[in-house]
Amino acid sequence: MFERSRKGENALLIQPHAHGPADEGVLEEFSELARSAGAHVAMVIAARIDRPNAATLIGSGKLEEVKAAAEASGADLILVNHRLSPGQERNLERALERRVVDRTGLILDIFAQRARSHEGKLQVELAQLRHMATRLVRGWTHLERQRGGSIGLRGPGETQLETDRRLLQKRVEQLQARLGKVEVQRTQMRRARVRSELPRVALVGYTNAGKSTLFNTLSGADAYAADQLFATLDPTVRRVDLSGGAIVLADTVGFVRDLPHELVAAFRSTLSEAREADLLLHVIDAADPLRNARIAQVDAVLGEIGAGELPQLLVFNKIDRIDGATPRYDMDPAALADDAVREAVWISARDGLGLDLLSQALARRLGMRRIVGRVALPPEAGRLRARLHALEAVREEAAEEAGGWRLQVDLAHADAARLAAQPEGAPLRALLPADDPDTI
């Protein structure tokens, strides 16, 4: 492999745009990405591009301006908020005599710094290698043949570039094999959670919207949460007891505009926590002026991973940053039965505001009415008894002298209806209201 020298992290940012002035929100996000990667932003230059230059993306005049600005500001790193072809990246480096990193490379670098778990590190390395595979030529200015010196090995050998490609492909295959084993384990854990019959809820949203803070607040866990982009890369799953019943809650990686396809592919296993959920809690920074665009961008990634049709509950977080904002639960009473309608809850996970409304909304969306009462189970209902215990629904239990059990139960309506529909579920049917549409 090759390695280019890294003389420093003083960065000049290039923001390409098509028409009119550059979008300030996009500029600020790119600057934050640069800072998240550890770079000091020395200068930002907007570059209007009506027709992209095939060789360098930006025109020759702007290229000279960037080079002069880099020299004046002492920048030794050029960050471009655009996906560059390998040729464009190489040509820009030659013209500017500095390292050039495009948006994809920058995000990959941040992910590499943030990955903590074994699986996360494997996924990031796989994404980086796939990105590198198209850019191997960059570090080589010679393609001399490696000539063998031993008997039977004389003559032309393979180029260094060919050697690198072969080694890279071998490493990719190794990573895919390792991730395949991790995916088997993750699938087994998901199946176990499915057997528990608890509703599965996944937190999704734009990066830094407050997903991990909300996860910690609801679950009492200590998942890493920070006011920075991509603070969480590794999914965390916990059982959460709400007023309406228990759920399985998963925290997932945050999304961003133009999330590199290499990352979406590498993190497909991790993102399956969202894809296989019963409900998505789409967490949004309520104070973000670009929140509507963020919602659309998250929806686009969800569609890409096969989760675009799942029911969502919008959670507008960080209302503590909006003057006069108070918790509220928005819903359309005329369309409550329509899963396509996305209700919204306004909360502050940090300050604990509106969590009762969120619990209420979750209970409604997941059918979490409570069923409480006593049931008598015959000896042959051992399977039903075991499932009630698995749901932690048994509050009291006494064995009958003639066999069987008498139980005091407290469980979610959806669980009671599901168990009552089973062949051995007759004892539970008496607990369901006579006019209940789920009563058998």
pLDDT digits (tens, 9 = 90+) for 85-143: 999 999 999 999 999 999 988 988 888 887 777 777 888 888 888 888 777 654 444 43
Residues 17, 53 within the same domain: yes
Q: Which of 96-100, 157-161, 230-234, 367-371 has the highest mean pLDDT?
A: 96-100
Which is more confidently placed, 430 or 235?
Answer: 430
In a domain, 46, yes or no: yes
| Residue 180 burial class via C-beta count within 10 angstroms: exposed 0-12, middle 13-18, buried 19 and up | exposed
Listed in order, strand segments (DSSP E) in 181-334 are 200-205, 236-242, 245-251, 279-285, 312-317, 328-330
Give tens-digit pLDDT for 43-54.
999 998 888 999
Tokens of 342: 């996305």
**What domain range is 53 assigned to?**
10-111
Domain total in the chain: 4
Residues 358, 406 within the same domain: no
In a domain, 440, yes or no: no
pLDDT at 372 over 90: no
pLDDT score, position 336: 41
In a domain, 1, yes or no: no
Residues in contact with 332: Cβ distance below 8 Å, sequence separation at least 6, in sequence order: 341, 343
Spatial separation of the C-alpha atoms in residues 112 and 128, rounded to whole Å:
9
Residues 258, 353 within the same domain: yes
Residues 299, 324 within the same domain: yes
Among candidates 11, 16, 66, which has minimal Cα distance to 42?
A: 11
Residues 352, 385 within the same domain: no
Residues in contact with 50: Cβ distance below 8 Å, sequence separation at least 6, in sequence order: 18, 19
In a domain, 342, yes or no: yes
Q: Of 94, 111, 128, which residue is a domain's last?
A: 111
Residues 82, 120 within the same domain: no
Residues 223, 284 within the same domain: yes
In a domain, 282, yes or no: yes
In a domain, 409, yes or no: yes
Q: Of 151, 180, 209, which residue is a domain's last?
A: 180
Residues 299, 204 within the same domain: yes
Instruction: Check which CATH number belongs to the domain holding 401 and give it.
Output: 3.30.70
Spatial separation of the C-alpha atoms in residues 274 and 303, rounded to whole Å:
11
Residues 342, 284 within the same domain: yes
CB 279 within 8 A of CB 249: no
Give tens-digit pLDDT for 301-310.
899 888 898 8
Instruction: Check which CATH number belongs to the domain holding 103 and give it.
Output: 3.40.50.11060
Residues 381, 355 within the same domain: no
- In three-state secondary structure terms, 47 is strand
Give tens-digit pLDDT for 202-229.
999 998 899 989 999 998 866 555 555 5
Degrees (nearest 5) of the Cα angle 49, 54, 59? 45
Tokens of 403: 């066999």
pLDDT at 282 over 80: yes
Instruction: Check which CATH number belongs to the domain holding 333 and give it.
Output: 3.40.50.300
Residues 220, 254 within the same domain: yes
In a domain, 5, yes or no: no
- Tokens 């679950």 correspond to 219
In a domain, 439, yes or no: no
Which is more confidently placed, 165 or 187?
Answer: 165
Q: Of 55, 81, 111, which residue is a domain's last?
A: 111
Percent share of the chain, pLDDT over 70: 79
